[in-house]
Amino acid sequence: MSGRLTIVGLGPGDADLTTPAVTEALRAATDLIGYDTYLARVPDFGTEQHRHGSDNRYELDRARHALTLAAEGRHVAVVSGGDPGVFAMAAAVFEAVETGDPSWRDLDITVLPGVSAMLAAAAEAGAPLGGDFCVLSLSDNLKSWETIAKRLTAAAAGDFVIALYNPASKARPHQLGEAFDLLRQEKPPETPVLFARAAGSKDATLTVTTLGEADAGLADMRTLVIIGSKGTRLIPREGRRPLVYTARSEGEAR
């Protein structure tokens, strides 16, 4: 097939955090497909491109549309925020390939990484992901709350630093509070907690608190929450927000 499909991550928001490889793939595409909010971040390259935007809940429809266009010989870029492989469009595309037209398996499909929200949030704080960590989404659109709770409890029991995507929405205002309640059963109240909103963009804010005092009301869908481990440390600074890092070894963590 002469068409190709590239799945790209724009990074967390600041144009400087979009990689040159992603920018070049966007420039070369005949068709751009993605969530309207992300497509609005793609610059106009002055070339004739077709933009196919949709609402955020139509990932598989977007993936199938992209594969259909690529099969017709188009050069398609599927656009995600952050990294396309972290709770984003790369998995949706490959799910569509597995379950769809067998000829799609012969397409030239490439994934280009981006700066994820968790990496941008960690950079705002210091190095909270400097030791072992895990990443969970609190959204129960595609999995049950029981599964989420089981994974949270296991991660806390293993003393991982935990990065939480999709911590709250208008439809799910209670889940982060329930997650904190579960974590408080396994982690001490002085465990550092970070609320990073719009990390990696000009609107970025960072709140540093503890698990004992964490207020779930601080989070929305643009917020990433990081819960520390026993090895996570705060370095106080006069008149400034503390630096946060997680020690690389158990010896330092003690």
Helix orientation angle between 89-99 and 59-71, rounded to the nearest 10 degrees:
60
Q: Which of 115, 149, 177 is a domain's end point? A: 115
Contacts of 39 (CB under 8 A, 6+ apart): 32, 51, 53, 79
Q: What percentage of residues in the chain have a pLDDT greater than 70?
A: 98
CATH number of the structural domain spanning residue 97: 3.40.1010.10
Reported as a pLDDT band with limits 50, 70 and 90, residue 250 is confident
Containing structural domain, residue 228: 118-253
CATH number of the structural domain spanning residue 235: 3.30.950.10
**What's 199's DSSP letter?**
T
Query: Are 132 and 147 in a shared domain?
Result: yes
Contacts of 240 (CB under 8 A, 6+ apart): none
Query: Are 194 and 247 in a shared domain?
Result: yes
Query: Are 124 and 106 in a shared domain?
Result: no
Query: Are 154 and 53 in a shared domain?
Result: no
Tens digits of residue pLDDT in 171-201? 777 899 999 999 999 999 999 999 999 999 9
Number of neighbours of residue 117 by Cβ within 10 angstroms: 27
Q: Which of 95, 115, 135 is a domain's end point? A: 115
pTM score: 0.92
Tens digits of residue pLDDT in 130-160? 999 999 999 988 899 999 999 999 999 999 9
Q: Which of 115, 139, 157 is a domain's end point? A: 115
Query: Are 147 and 203 in a shared domain?
Result: yes
How many domains, the chain? 2
| The pLDDT of residue 30 is above 90 | yes
Cα–Cα dist 156/185, whole Å: 9
- Of 45 and 208, more confident: 208
Helix ranges (DSSP H) in the chain = 20-28, 36-39, 59-71, 89-99, 117-125, 145-157, 175-184, 250-253
Cα–Cα dist 227/166, whole Å: 14
* Structure-token pair, residue 92: 């949706």
Contacts of 49 (CB under 8 A, 6+ apart): 29, 30, 31, 32
